[in-house]
Structure 1
Amino acid sequence: MAPPLIRRLYPRAHENRLPLDHPELKAIRPKFFKATLLNLCLYILLFFCLFCYLYGSLFQQGPRTHNLHILFVDYDGGIIGDAVRNAYSSLQSHEFPSLIPRPVSQFPTQADLREAVCHSHYWAALFTSPGASTRLGLAIAGLDATQYNGSDVLLFIWNEAKYSAIMDSLVSSSLHTLSDTAQASYIALNGTSAFSTIPSTNNAAAISAFTNPWTLTSINIKPTTQGTRTVYNTITIVLVLIEDFFYLATINGLYASFKVYTRISPLRIVVVRDAISITFTMLGSLLNSAAIWAFKANWHVSGGQYAITWLTLWLFAHTNFLAFDVFTIWLPPQYVSMALVTWVVVNVSSIILPFSLVSPFYRWGYALPAHAAYELLTDNWSHGCNPHLSYALPVLFTYEVVGLVLTGIGVYKRCHYAVILEETTKEAMRLRVEAVLKLEREHDILAQREKSETSSGRVSPGGPSRATTTSADMLDQLDQASREQRRQVETGLQQLDTEIERMGTRASRASNSMGPAFCLIGSRDE
């Protein structure tokens, strides 16, 4: 039993409840539990597959670290380069980035190395400075030791804006480990002969050069150290998708509340609906970009980069708005929620890690809008040092064009079914009203006939006894006629219920084509 307070708040909640052994409940009970079990299995299986997909994209990231290729060019051509190669030989494994040596002739200058990193041919470029071994030897020997610059010996070029967390943990960290190991290798290769050259007096600078031959120098194309960088390729994308879905459901609710699909021409609806979605995604992306800039800390980005970030997020948001709308128009209603959550998971999984660190299976994510948008953002933030526009822009524009076409056709579909829904609802109401009026007319006719026959029986000539007998016979006949007409009315009502149920099914199908909808404040057509 419900508490008294709840019973007072909702006094009619227990009205017209059927007992558990009622035939109607017995008929629907197996269907209900069968449908419940089917949906339970489908959703559990779906989310199990999505979890496996997500975890699979992160699985064995470490053993795939060797797929991160780092260019190595030895401009020095001396013992320091040998030390680096020896150090890499001791560190080389599946869990360490691959060092790819290339001749100086292929990359004559430091600018060529930067260009190779900018074009994403390599994740970083490690190189020795020309004459570094000679300068180090002279410093250890005490010749010009005070002028020796240990930061101009071993250097690397990288772009921290590209998957910042991965660049820090796997690229920069690994190269520092390689540098430290190379120092130990240098001492092992040249320690005895170099130590003997250290002068006996005024040797502080020489000993310092011997014990700490160099410091690895970072040439970071785009320093990206702010804390918010960790969510640019995760939560930021998820929130954009959620924002699009909820506003789409709101728009659907407003269109249904104001009966737009039955009042305005489809072409006008297409234009206005696209204008609303473009405006919403434009303003949402503008504020999203503003939030990124507000918490960028010491991240040096310009106003022009802000504008391009806004445009990229705008294009990404609108393509997803259209994608969600396509799902709600063309997929069966029972599969829409499954499609939406799947779309969110596969898009986010395509940008959590670079494809170099995941199974080749996941590279189909090149065709997803989230990956294309993140490639555009990275290119923008690093001043063009991720030039994948040749496929990223076509991917987004393909989604945009296809989405506009399919949602435009979908408006005509919704208008068609909205008319069907309205006609069906009116027809069902008309049939119910006619049935009630017919029942009332039959009741009135029977009441008048009974009254008339009873009155004529009282005045029948033949004495009281004959009058009573005649009246009783008439009442029996009247009762039989009444029962017959009631049976006819009941049969008609049963047929009416069947017809209304069929019309309800038709109306339900029409209503489902409208997509998910939320009814919010101000959504009533008053």
Structure 2
Amino acid sequence: MNPYPHARQPKRRLSSTNPTLHDIRLQLFKAIGGNFIILQVLFFGLFCYIFGSLYQQTSHTHNLTVAFVDYDGGAIGVAVRDAYKQLQGDSFPGLIELSPQQYSQPSALEEKVCHIDFWAALYISPGASNRLTEGLTGGSASSSYNRSDVMSFIWNEARYSTTADSVAAKLQDLSEAARIAYSATNGAAILQTLPAGDAAAVSVFYNPWQLVSLNLQPTTQGSRLIYNTLVIILILLQEFFYLGTINGLYAKFKIYGRIRPFRIIAVRLIISILYTFVGSLCTTGAIWAFRAGWNVNGVQFVLTWMTLWLFAHLNFLTFDIFSIWLPPPVVPMALVTWIMINLTSILLPFALSPRFYHWGYALPTHAVYNVLVDIWSRGCNPALYYALPVMFAYEISSLTLSTIGVYRRSHYGFLELEREEKAFQTKIAESIAAALEESEGETLERRRAEGEGEGEVAVGDEEAVVVMPMQRRGTITTLADREEIAERIWRETTQLRRERSRAEADDNFGGPCFELTINK
């Protein structure tokens, strides 16, 4: 059985060549073609934008600077310099040598890394070359030799974890290249004095040191890969679709034309604050639930929650601006564009992207990610001086424009409601007129029937009786007639109001909506 019997009915179906469809067909294909071009250009531009930020990122690796301090001043430092000369290039982090007198302690280098002046700091421990020479003499000196007290590097894995991992891997390569350079330079002299039967001394010669990692905030959990991608996307989508639902409800129940703007502003602000408050709590809870041993505490949880709350709310207000001031068909395009440009600002550190993309410092997503890194690494990403002002600037400006937008919607919403009320009153007047006409017709028929039975008298003698009708003086409206007319009018108006209420509170209400649903 066909569940859609009218789908194939030829009745009322027009031929595609029907002249009445000419203008409709023209407008249809014009709209299809216009959107075809706009969307293709939009997404092609977005693809080019995001691919451009990743273009030849390997050739920008030299912008990831690493501080180098030689506290030893011996052969190991010479080997590191020789190795760097071989590895130096666009695809290798830039090694910047600092004076041991200026940075007399490794803690000073830790401060430089913590304050994001460098991506890492490599240093050689004082007296490392002398200890290595002693370790190659054999005996107890070789057995007690400490390979971990030679070369170390300081880094922060919480800061763009994949990029930080690549820097760590490059420093491991530098350490291995330095070992080869050390053996090539000093190997012939060492072999002449190396005790042949001393396994410990031979082991020291083949493996003179181990590069020690001093990680300020180890971040190895698998979920770290989506902190700067899917987490941000889902937060933005979460705000966008709930805003669409709120707009749909307000439009369906015609709130803007019925309630004062100030009350609407207050209620919408409370709703947005509560929604983003709960949403950011859930997001932070999910991050913490799957942190997999990540060393973060309760204070960092609360700070992360508050940061994501501010970020979610400013985006809620930003999307509200889109829905107020942009044409409805453009709003989804604005959403996609907003997501992509914000996501691009945190996919990679700006050191690996072309300079053009540095304008992303002005985007809230880049700001919030830097604040989060600062929280997670306990202050070792001090970007609050610009990140927080950027976020609050979006919050205040978006709140201001959103508030103005409520007055705009209220203005047009009132005009639309006024037009609807006039049309409704006209409909009620027509219904009342029809009811009165019908009631008067029924009254006349009833009185005509009564007149046929009671409105005649007999005139004449007993044998000849003439029946003469009484003259009608007019229609007399009795109390019963007035009650009947009032009841009929009440039924008609009640039915109309119920129909309007059902139309306003249809079962399908609540879907996303980003238009004013008004005619200016």
Q: TM-score, normalised by structure 1?
A: 0.80
Equivalents in 1 of 2:424, 2:26: separation in Å?
31
Q: 1:121 and 2:137 equivalent?
A: no
Q: How does 1:103-142 map to 2 (within 5 A)?
A: 103-142=99-138
Q: How does 1:125-204 map to 2 (within 5 A)?
A: 125-142=121-138, 144-168=141-165, 170-201=166-197, 203-204=198-199
Question: Do 1:140 and 1:195's aligned partners in 2 also have CA atoms closer than 8 Å?
Answer: no
1:287 — aligned with what? Answer: 282
Question: Do 1:65 and 1:97's aligned partners in 2 also have CA atoms closer than 8 Å?
Answer: yes
Q: 1:242 and 2:237 equivalent?
A: yes
Equivalents in 2 of 1:427, 1:335: separation in Å?
32
Aligned amino acid, residue 267 of structure 1? F
Residue 383 of structure 1 deviates from its aligned partner by 0.6
SS at match of 1:100: strand
SS at match of 2:148: helix
Equivalents in 1 of 2:72, 2:416: separation in Å?
80
Aligned amino acid, residue 119 of structure 1? H
SS at match of 1:5: coil
Equivalents in 1 of 2:362, 2:13: separation in Å?
54
Residue 18 of structure 1 deviates from its aligned partner by 3.2
Question: Do 1:119 and 1:386's aligned partners in 2 also have CA atoms closer than 8 Å?
Answer: yes
SS at match of 1:144: helix
Equivalents in 2 of 1:70, 1:15: separation in Å?
79
Equivalents in 1 of 2:121, 2:79: separation in Å?
17
Residue in structure 2 matching 1:82, options 55, 78, 83:
78
Equivalents in 1 of 2:413, 2:189: separation in Å?
91
Q: 1:36 to 1:315 in 2, by over 3 A?
A: same
Residue in structure 2 matching 1:17, options 13, 19, 22:
13
Q: 1:161 to 1:13 in 2, by over 3 A?
A: farther
1:408 — aligned with what? Answer: 403
Please give the per-residue CA displacement for 1:272-315, whole angstroms capped at 9, x wherever unaligned: 10111011011000010000000000211000001111011111
Please give the per-residue CA displacement for 1:428-466, whole angstroms capped at 9, x wherever unaligned: 56678889999999xxxxxxxxxxxxxxxxxxxxxxxxx
Aligned amino acid, residue 248 of structure 2? G
1:61 — aligned with what? Answer: 57
Equivalents in 1 of 2:238, 2:254: separation in Å?
24
Equivalents in 1 of 2:431, 2:255: separation in Å?
32
Equivalents in 1 of 2:88, 2:290: separation in Å?
39
Equivalents in 2 of 1:104, 1:196: separation in Å?
33
Residue 422 of structure 1 deviates from its aligned partner by 1.9
Q: 1:254 to 1:436 in 2, by over 3 A?
A: closer
Residue 425 of structure 1 deviates from its aligned partner by 3.3
Q: 1:25 to 1:434 in 2, by over 3 A?
A: farther
1:452 — aligned with what? Answer: none
Equivalents in 2 of 1:123, 1:232: separation in Å?
20
Equivalents in 2 of 1:313, 1:14: separation in Å?
57
SS at match of 2:193: coil
Question: Do 2:261 and 2:410's aligned partners in 1 also have CA atoms closer than 8 Å?
Answer: yes
Please give the per-residue CA displacement for 1:59-92, whole angstroms capped at 9, x wherever unaligned: 1111111111011000110000000000000011
Q: 1:328 and 2:323 equivalent?
A: yes
Question: Do 2:257 and 2:416's aligned partners in 1 also have CA atoms closer than 8 Å?
Answer: no
Please give the per-residue CA displacement for 1:233-261, whole angstroms capped at 9, x wherever unaligned: 00000000000001100111121233221
2:27 — aligned with what? Answer: 31
Residue 181 of structure 1 deviates from its aligned partner by 0.5
Equivalents in 2 of 1:306, 1:172: separation in Å?
28
Please give the per-residue CA displacement for 1:400-430, whole angstroms capped at 9, x wherever unaligned: 0011111111111111111122233344566
Aligned amino acid, residue 163 of structure 1? Y
Equivalents in 1 of 2:289, 2:435: separation in Å?
71
Residue 264 of structure 1 deviates from its aligned partner by 1.7
Equivalents in 2 of 1:418, 1:35: separation in Å?
28
Residue 515 of structure 1 deviates from its aligned partner by 12
Question: Do 1:333 and 1:515's aligned partners in 2 also have CA atoms closer than 8 Å?
Answer: no
Residue 196 of structure 1 deviates from its aligned partner by 2.1
Please give the per-residue CA displacement for 1:215-235, whole angstroms capped at 9, x wherever unaligned: 110000000000000000000
1:7 — aligned with what? Answer: 4
Question: Do 2:236 and 2:339's aligned partners in 1 also have CA atoms closer than 8 Å?
Answer: yes
Question: Do 1:328 and 1:515's aligned partners in 2 also have CA atoms closer than 8 Å?
Answer: no
Segments of structure 2 that go 5 or more residues without pairing to the other structure are: 437-509, 516-520
Residue in structure 1 matching 2:40, options 36, 40, 44:
44
Equivalents in 1 of 2:4, 2:433: separation in Å?
38
Equivalents in 2 of 1:429, 1:21: separation in Å?
40
Aligned amino acid, residue 156 of structure 1? F
Equivalents in 2 of 1:334, 1:389: separation in Å?
37
Residue 333 of structure 1 deviates from its aligned partner by 2.1
Equivalents in 2 of 1:77, 1:144: separation in Å?
21
Q: How does 1:306-455 map to 2 (within 5 A)?
A: 306-428=301-423
SS at match of 1:208: helix
Residue 34 of structure 1 deviates from its aligned partner by 1.1
Equivalents in 2 of 1:31, 1:344: separation in Å?
32
Question: Do 1:326 and 1:407's aligned partners in 2 also have CA atoms closer than 8 Å?
Answer: yes
Percent identical: 51
1:95 — aligned with what? Answer: 91
Segments of structure 1 that go 5 or more residues without pairing to the other structure are: 442-513, 520-526
Aligned amino acid, residue 25 of structure 2? R
Question: Do 2:328 and 2:514's aligned partners in 1 also have CA atoms closer than 8 Å?
Answer: no
Aligned amino acid, residue 131 of structure 1? G
Aligned amino acid, residue 291 of structure 1? A
Question: Do 1:107 and 1:113's aligned partners in 2 also have CA atoms closer than 8 Å?
Answer: yes
Question: Do 1:73 and 1:102's aligned partners in 2 also have CA atoms closer than 8 Å?
Answer: yes
Q: 1:436 to 1:15 in 2, by over 3 A?
A: farther
Q: TM-score, normalised by structure 2?
A: 0.81
Q: 1:277 to 1:13 in 2, by over 3 A?
A: farther
Aligned residues: 442
Question: Do 2:257 and 2:415's aligned partners in 1 also have CA atoms closer than 8 Å?
Answer: no
1:458 — aligned with what? Answer: none
Q: How does 1:258-277 map to 2 (within 5 A)?
A: 258-277=253-272
